[in-house]
Structure 1
């Protein structure tokens, strides 16, 4: 029995390690933890309950964490359908002064889940507009800036993101303007202002 428990923990640990220590009840079940065993581990404090059906190994809470660790939790919450976007993506890419109070995620049209900690944007993203990070997905710098322009975020936030992205060479003026054009006139206008401000 002890061997079986150790195997289950090793299997689940391997899954959770790729998700910043987070895992779902379904992943635990698949790894060999019964519902009763899951309840026991949560009650004993071996696992921290983060949300309905989402846990985190307590060992990860004791490790030095990155500022974006919590974003893996929302990937699981959305069942892999959400992509970190808009101002939250700017913060992930360390572009400009964005510091949103809530987490911005882009989800597919028809997505019905809600949470007060989130701002959800519905859109279909192309594969080339998404980067995979450890435990979650995020829009690319070009897409992140363009979608912020389309959402009419504060121009100062946009200006600082564009200036830093150009300075670091992670975007080009042409690609930024092309991305803005695809999102419509408000995005074009805001990006044009930011590019002129950047000189």
Structure 2
């Protein structure tokens, strides 16, 4: 429920603070900004237009990047339905040498939006297969390795991610194998190779 005691800016700022300063036109409208006033905020330089229907407070634009801030607008673009996944999730977790040129997102099967900057993977995720990050959700490290392996990324990317994960003690070999088996034979083979490399 909208509080009449707060200004629209205070309401939107509180919401955007949990989204690395980003927000949608619909969120701004909900917090008290008409579409006309939204255009005014952009013209005055108070807001930066990131892409259609997604904005950011200028104050956040001037701050040093948190490293993964660029992923938040894509979750807003998806109306909160996307989860950062595959090699993009490996990069979020700082596992191995993953350096994706595009952003990988897992979306529900019925998702219809498209954009050249993102690679969409359709599927249903179980609650234990993703976790909250600042401003977005991301698949767990084990899931990220398995789904990347199933997607056919280079073996050295999988090898380095598996080595990092095991070195941190963040998962067991058995957990990795089980996740790979669920992801399919391609993933299972790649993870088995990575585990042999790591133990060798």
Query: Tell me, what secondary structure is at the counterpart of 2:144?
Result: helix
- Which residue of 2 is the match for residue 47 of structure 1? 47
* Structure 1 segment 1-199 matched on structure 2, within 5 A: 7-199=7-199
Q: Deviations over 1:149-183 (max 9, x none)?
A: 11111000100000000000111100100001111
CA distance in 1, matches of 2:81, 2:22: 16
Q: What is the rounded CA distance, in whole Å, between the counterparts of 2:194 and 2:45 in structure 1?
A: 49
Q: Specify every segment of 5 or more residues in structure 2 that has no aligned partner in the other structure, as ranges.
A: none
1:179-199 CA deviation, whole Å, 9 max, x = no partner? 011111111111100000000
**May I ask how many residue pairs the two structures share in their alignment?**
196
Deviation at residue 127 of structure 1 after TM alignment: 0.5
Q: Give the Cα–Cα distance (whole angstroms) in 2 for the partners of residues 73 and 133 of structure 1.
A: 14
Runs of 4+ in 1 over 3 A off after TM superposition: none
What SS does the aligned partner of 1:76 have?
Answer: helix
The offset of 1:51, in angstroms, is 1.1
TM-score (normalizing by structure 1): 0.96
Deviation of the 1:111 alpha carbon: 1.0
Cα deviation for residue 87 of structure 1 reads: 0.5
How far off is 1:70 after superposition?
A: 1.0
**Which structure 1 residue ranges, 5 or more long, are not aligned?**
none
SS at the partner of 1:70?
helix
Give CA deviations for 1:53-110 in whole Å, capped at 9, x if unaligned.
Answer: 1100000011111110011111100001100000010000000000010001111112
Partner SS, residue 106 of structure 2: strand
Q: For residue 6 of structure 1, report the CA deviation from its aligned partner.
A: 6.8
Deviation at 1:5, TM superposition (A): 11
CA apart distance, 1:36: 1.0
Alignment RMSD (CA, Å): 1.2
